[in-house]
Amino acid sequence: MKKYKIGYTTGVFDLFHIGHLNILKKAKEQCEYLIVGVSTDELVKSYKNKTPIIPFDERIAIVEAIRYVDKVVPQTSMDKLAAWNKLHFNVIFHGDDWKNSAMYDEYEKQFAGVGVTLVFFPHTQGISSTKITKKLQDILCQ
């Protein structure tokens, strides 16, 4: 039996890479049912001030095709408690690059009140969509 019943994680999943796959695989290893929130283009623009390279509908299709994922939902807000009110997960998974951030410290307090556990996984070293984009820019500018 897995440790948690319903797990939840979110991401942009732009330029899907091994780090994205690692978090989904690790999350599924710990829960029976994994829900993944994929950030909409509008949400990404609002907090990263950039437009994803891969359009939202294609990022959804990519994440839906991954065997570790049971359900994909649009992430239209950074408010994880609002997501919990709709989805009723009992664990949220995230990369440890957000651990001890003001936002996740607040989530930890909020989720403690409703019995949701936060689990942080180590960030996959050496890879990110930002690094891939930079590498592509460097190649194109040669």
Q: Which of 48, 71, 131, 135 is catalytic?
A: 48
Catalytic (active site) residue 48: yes
Cα three-residue angle 108-102-56, rounded to 5 degrees? 85
- Active-site entry in 50, 71, 134, 135: 50
Q: Give the C-alpha separation, 37 to 13, whole Å.
A: 10
End-to-end CA distance of the chain: 53
50 is catalytic: yes
The Cα 137–Cα 90 span in angstroms is 40
Is 38 strand, coil or helix? strand
Give CA separation, 84 vs 12, 21, 136, in Å: 18, 23, 37
User: How far is 20 from 136, CA to CA, in rounded Å?
Assistant: 19
As annotated, the active-site residues are 48, 50
